[in-house]
Chains A and B, each alone.
Chain A
Amino acid sequence: MKNNTILRTERLHAHYILDVYGKAKVIKAVNDVDLAIQEDEIYGIAGESGCGKSTLLKALAAAVEPPLRIISGRVTYRIAGAEVDVSTLTQEEKRKLRMEYIAYVPQGSMSVLNPVSRIRDTYRDFIESHISVHQKGEAFALAKEHLTELGLPVKILDAYPHQLSGGMRQRVTIALATLLKPRIIIGDEPTTALDVVVQRGVVQLLKDVQAKLKNTIVLVTHDMGVHANIADRIGIMYAGKIVEEAPTEKIFSAPTHPYTHYLINSLPKFGDKSPRESVPGSPPSLANLPTGCPFHPRCPHVMDICKQEMPGYTQVASNHKVACWLVGEGTHGKAA
Chain B
Amino acid sequence: MEKLLEVEHLTKTFTLGSVISRVRITAVDDISFYIKPAEIFALAGESGCGKSTTARIIMGFEHATSGTIIHSGKKEAKNEKVWFTEGIQAIFQDPFATFNPLRMVEQYFFETIQNYKLAKSKREAIERIDAKLRLVGLTYEDLAGKYPSEFSGGQLQRISIARALLTDPQLIIADEPVSMVDASLRMSIVNLFKQLRDELGVSVLYITHDLATAYYVCDRIAIMFRGKIVEMGTVEQVLMAPKHPYTQLLRASIPEADTAHRWQGEIRLSDTEQDEYLRQGCRFAGRCPMVMDVCRRVTPPQFDVDGALVACHLYAETKQ
Q: A196-B209, A268-B215 are in contact. Are A201 and B267 (CB under 8 A)?
A: yes
Tell me if B259 is interfacial: C-beta within 8 Å of chain A. yes
Contact B153 A196 (CB under 8 A): no
Q: Does A20 contact B (CB under 8 A)?
A: no
Chain B, 105-143, CB within 8 A of any chain A CB: none
The contact size tier of chain B is: 35 or more
Once the chains bind, are A273 and B216 in contact (CB under 8 Å)?
yes
Give the nearest-CB partner of B272 in chain A: A165
Report the separation of the CA atoms of residues A224 and B187 in the bound assembly, to the nearest whole angstrom: 14
Q: Would you give the shortest CB distance from A173 to chain B, in whole angstroms?
A: 15
Residue A167 at the B interface, CB < 8 A? yes
Given contacts A197-B267, A203-B263, contact A163 B272 (CB under 8 A): yes
Q: Which of A167, A195, A223, A273 gathers the greatest number of chain B CB atoms within 10 Å?
A: A195
CB contact under 8 A between A278 and B271, given known A225-B255, A252-B257, A283-B152: no
Q: Binding site of B, secondary structure by majority: helix, strand, loop or mixed?
A: helix
Cβ of B146 < 8 Å from any Cβ of A? no
A270 touching B182, Cβ below 8 Å:
no
Residues from chain B with Cβ under 8 Å of A259 in the complex: 184
User: In the complex where A223-B183, A275-B191, A278-B188 touch, is A196 in contact with B269 (Cβ < 8 A)?
Assistant: no
Tell whether A332 is near chain B: CB-to-CB under 8 Å. Answer: no
Q: B186 on the interface (CB 8 Å rule)? A: yes
Mask, A147-184, CB within 8 Å of B = 1, is 00000010010000001111110000000000000000
A252 CA to B215 CA, complexed, in Å: 21
- Please name the residue on chain A nearest to B48 by beta carbon: A195
- With A200-B263, A222-B183, A267-B212 as known contacts, state yes or no: A228 contacts B257, CB within 8 Å: yes
User: B221 near A: Cβ within 8 Å?
Assistant: no
| B280 → chain A closest CB, angstroms | 20
How far apart are the CA atoms of A136 and B251 in the complex, in Å?
47
Q: How would you classify the secondary structure of chain A's contact residues: helix, strand, loop or mixed?
A: helix
> A228 and B256 in contact (CB under 8 A), knowing A267-B183, A270-B212?
yes
What is the CA–CA distance of A107 and B97 in the complex, to the nearest angstrom? 20
Q: Which of B153, B188, B213, B266 contacts A268, CB < 8 Å?
A: B213
> Which of B152, B215, B269 lies at the interface centre, i.e. has the most chain A CB atoms within 10 A of its CB?
B269
Is A271 interfacial (CB 8 A cutoff)?
yes
User: Contact between A200 and B267 (Cβ–Cβ < 8 Å)?
Assistant: yes
Which residue in B184, B255, B258 is a CB contact (below 8 Å) of A278? B184
In Å, the complex CA distance between A279 and B186 comes to 9
B183 close to A263 (CB less than 8 A) = yes
CB of B269 within 8 A of CB of A269, answer: no
Query: Are B47's CB and A266's CB within 8 A?
Result: no
> Considering the chains assembled together, what is the distance between the CA atoms of A327 and B256 in angstroms?
28
B153 x A223 contact (CB < 8 A): no
Say yes or no: is A264 at the interface (Cβ < 8 Å to chain B).
yes
Cβ A200 vs Cβ B259 within 8 A? no
B155 touching A282 by the CB < 8 A rule? yes
- Option from A156, A163, A167, A223 in Cβ contact (under 8 Å) with B255: A223
Q: How far is the CA of A167 from the CA of B271 in the complex (A)?
A: 8
Residue of A nearest to B261 (CB): A228
Contacts of A228 in B (CB 8 A): 255-259, 261-262
**A48: CB under 8 A from chain B?**
yes
Partner of B152, one of A222, A227, A282: A282
B298 at the A interface (CB under 8 A): no
Alpha-carbon separation in the docked complex, A44 to B138 (Å): 35
Tell me whether A48 and B183 are in contact (CB under 8 A).
yes
Inter-chain contact A195/B255, CB cutoff 8 Å:
no
The answer on a CB contact under 8 Å between A282 and B185 is yes
* Minimum CB distance partner of B217 in chain A: A268
**In the complex, how many angstroms separate the beta carbon of A177 from the nearest chain B beta carbon?**
19
B46 contacts chain A at the CB level, 8 A cutoff: yes
A48, A197, A226, A259 — which one has the most chain B CB atoms within 10 A of its CB? Answer: A197
B241-269: which residues lie under 8 A (CB-CB) from chain A? 249-251, 253-259, 261-263, 266-267, 269
The reply to whether B267 and A164 contact each other, CB–CB distance below 8 Å, is no
In this complex, what residue of A is CB-closest to B190?
A: A268
Contact B46 A224 (CB under 8 A): no
Q: With A and B bound together, what is the CA distance between A171 and B183 in angstroms?
A: 25
The contact sample of 30 A-B pairs, CB cut-off 8 A, is A49-B153, A165-B273, A166-B47, A167-B269, A168-B271, A168-B272, A196-B209, A196-B211, A196-B255, A199-B255, A204-B266, A222-B183, A225-B212, A225-B255, A228-B258, A228-B261, A229-B263, A267-B257, A268-B190, A268-B216, A270-B212, A270-B239, A270-B240, A276-B216, A278-B154, A278-B187, A282-B155, A282-B185, A283-B152, A283-B182
Residues of chain B having any CB pair with chain A under 8 Å: 46-47, 152-155, 182-191, 209, 211-213, 215-216, 239-240, 249-251, 253-259, 261-263, 266-267, 269-273
Known contacts A156-B271, A166-B47, then 5 further A-B pairs from the complex at CB < 8 Å, ordered by chain A residue? A196-B250, A196-B255, A197-B46, A201-B267, A278-B185
